[in-house]
């Protein structure tokens, strides 16, 4: 489905949401791609890039917690 919003238009036959879905990206990773790709197409490019950084940090925090939990459980079982 093509979007009617100008900042979503990429001049292609697909939208970013199609790429995000095709790659099966989770919410955070999808938003990182979305905000980076669309940065500069609306009035505040810096804000869009900061949003991408925020979602990247959230994803890193989730992965770090998962890793730390696995390491902790491994050490507890040794």
Query: How many structural domains comprise the chain?
Result: 1
- On average, the pLDDT of the chain sits at 91
Residue 10 counted as domain residue: yes
Residue 1 counted as domain residue: no
Residue 59 counted as domain residue: yes
Quote the CA–CA distance of 75 and 78 in Å, as a whole number: 5
pLDDT tens digits for 22-57?
999 999 999 999 999 999 998 899 999 999 999 999
Residue 66 counted as domain residue: yes
**CA distances (Å), 9 to each of 4, 5, 17, in order?**
7, 7, 12
pTM of whole model > 0.85?
A: no
Beta-carbon contacts of 64 under 8 Å, excluding residues fewer than 6 positions away, are none
- Which domain, by its residues, includes 56? 6-77
Can you say whether the dihedral through the CA atoms of 61, 66, 67, 73 is positive or negative?
Answer: positive
Residue 31 counted as domain residue: yes
Residue 56 counted as domain residue: yes
């Amino acid at each position: 489905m093509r979007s009617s919003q100008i900042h979503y238009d990429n001049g292609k036959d697909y939208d970013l949401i199609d790429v995000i879905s095709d790659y099966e990206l989770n919410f955070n990773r999808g938003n990182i791609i979305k905000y980076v790709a669309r940065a500069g197409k609306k009035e505040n490019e810096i804000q869009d890039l900061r949003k991408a950084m925020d979602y990247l940090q959230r994803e890193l925090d989730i992965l770090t917690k998962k890793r730390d939990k696995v390491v902790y459980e491994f050490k507890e079982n040794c």
